[in-house]
Amino acid sequence: MRPAHLLVDLDAIRHNMAVIQQIVGPDTRQAAIVKANAYGHGAVPVCRACVQAGAAMLCVAIADEGVVLREGGITAPVLVLGPPDPEECDLYLDHDLLSTISDPAHVRMLADAAARRGQRARVHLKLDSGMGRHGARSDVLDETADLLAASPHVELVGIFSHLADACNTRLDWSERQLQVFTDMLGVLRRRLGEPLPPLHLANSAAIIRMPDTHFDYVRPGAILYGLNPGFDDSLMPVGFRPALSLKARLATIKRIPAGEPVGYRCAWRARRDTTLAVLPLGYADGYPRALSDNADVLVGDRRCPLVGMVSMDAITVDITDAPGAQVGDEAVLIGAQDGERITVEEIARRAGTIVEDIVGRLSTRLPRVYLGQRGGGES
């Protein structure tokens, strides 16, 4: 196996689902967000763990991600959160994927494809309550609802919206979105009758901060993987466990004299006689270039500074203060080593981005090693 790899703790994901269920209560189900290769953790193994832990639905961003799950043996309901394309309609029907519609054109294209095949397309209706991206606004809501009611080949099985600012200290905009969502549901009740299909609105932040958004499903993303979705650390409940570690083995160790440059552009020069370790991974693996001379790596239970530029396939670390380190020893870029820990949150802060960006960019060329895999059970 490659000496740089990701370690994914599936028991941590199951544990986090249990924590989420305690927060939302027994009457609300979980629709796990597993887009972007399950936030870099590996879609199929993570989905198996989620279903084993009670996930009622899995959510991806694009139809191709849903196909990957089906080809991996996942049979649970899969909702594609992005809008359908006319050329993808058969893909949804071939693989029993739930599509998200937010425009009359979406209803027509799916109805035509399903009628041609003698099938029914199952859909969730997305409402734009204030995010400003995908989602039906009030000007198309009546027409969309009427088409759904009239079409025998399209079945509405869910209604949802998405919150734009639930990590903000102030929840004014999120509360406004909740009110808009509620008002739009009133329109749909008048057009479609009662009862409406299951509703979902809450993302990770709202699961924790806005219990009145929980409805029938919640959609955990960052917190499913033990990550802070972006609010103050004091708001993060205790009990969530990070599921991912990034590790590599020291590939080369060398001594360089004071004043010697290291890496591209000679951007860093040794201030003293220095022991360097070279690790065999870089920005092509998703380790951000913004961490150049701006991160720590755990070697020999010590924090050692990354020095010089992050290259495509290599980084250099000053291990002068980690005596005894040898080629082949383990280095931790994300995760714990004895009493020290480097979190995804720390990496994101140093890189000037968000946790989802860090884990979402982790390359598929990094092998994933899974802890807590279980055989059998539903998938």
Which residue out of 35, 126, 217, 287 is catalytically annotated? 35
**Catalytic-role residue among 92, 247, 254, 264:** 264
The answer to whether the CB of 294 falls within 8 A of the CB of 349 is no
Strands 261-262, 268-269: pairing is: antiparallel
User: Which spans in the chain are helix H?
Assistant: 10-24, 35-39, 43-52, 63-71, 89-94, 104-117, 138-150, 172-192, 204-209, 344-351, 355-360
- 308, 291 Cβ separation under 8 angstroms: no
Q: How many residues does the chain have?
A: 379
Question: Which residues are CB-contacts of 134 (< 8 A; sequence separation ≥ 6)?
Answer: 82, 83, 100, 102, 126, 128
Residue 35 known to be catalytic: yes
Distance, in Å, from the CA atom of 1 to the CA atom of 299, rounded to the nearest integer, reads 20
| CA–CA gap between residue 74 and residue 84 (Å, rounded) | 21
Clarify whether 287 is annotated catalytic: no
Q: Angle 107-111-114 (CA atoms, 0-180°, nearest 5)? A: 140
The catalytic site residues sit at 35, 264
